[in-house]
Amino acid sequence: MTAPPTPLLEVRDVHRSFGDVRALDGVSLTIAENEFFALLGPSGCGKTTLLRAIAGFEHPDGGAVLLGGDDLLALPPNRRPVNLMFQSYALFPHLSVASNVAYGLKREKLPKREIAERVADVLATVGLSGMADRRPAQLSGGQRQRVALARAIVKRPRLLLLDEPLSALDRKVRAEMQLELKRLQHEVGITFVVVTHDQEEAMSMADRIAVLAEGRVQQVASPLELYRHPANLFVADFIGTSNRLAGTYDGATFAADGFGPLPSGAQRTSVTGRAHLVVRPEDVRLVAGGAGILEGTVTDTQFQGGTSTVAVDVPGIEAPFLVTEPGSTEAVRGTSVGLVWEHAVVVGEELT
Which pLDDT tens digit goes with each residue over 18-73?
A: 999 999 999 999 999 999 999 999 999 999 999 999 999 999 999 999 999 999 99
Which pLDDT tens digit goes with each residue over 145-155?
A: 889 888 888 88
Average pLDDT, the chain: 91
- State the pTM of this model: 0.89
Cβ atoms 37, 191 nearer than 8 A: yes
What is the CB-side half-sphere exposure of residue 108 using CA atoms within 13 A?
A: 15
114: exposed, middle or buried (Cβ count in 10 Å: 0-12, 13-18, 19+): exposed
> Looking at residues 124-153, what average pLDDT do you find?
88
336 φ, ψ to 5°? -85, 135
Domains and CATH numbers, the chain: 7-227 (3.40.50.300), 229-347 (2.40.50.140)
Which pLDDT tens digit goes with each residue over 231-273?
A: 999 999 999 999 999 999 998 999 999 999 999 987 888 899 9
Nearest to 185 by CA among 151, 204, 160: 160
CA dist list (Å): 25 to 60, 214, 216, 232, 268: 10, 8, 5, 18, 26
DSSP 201: H
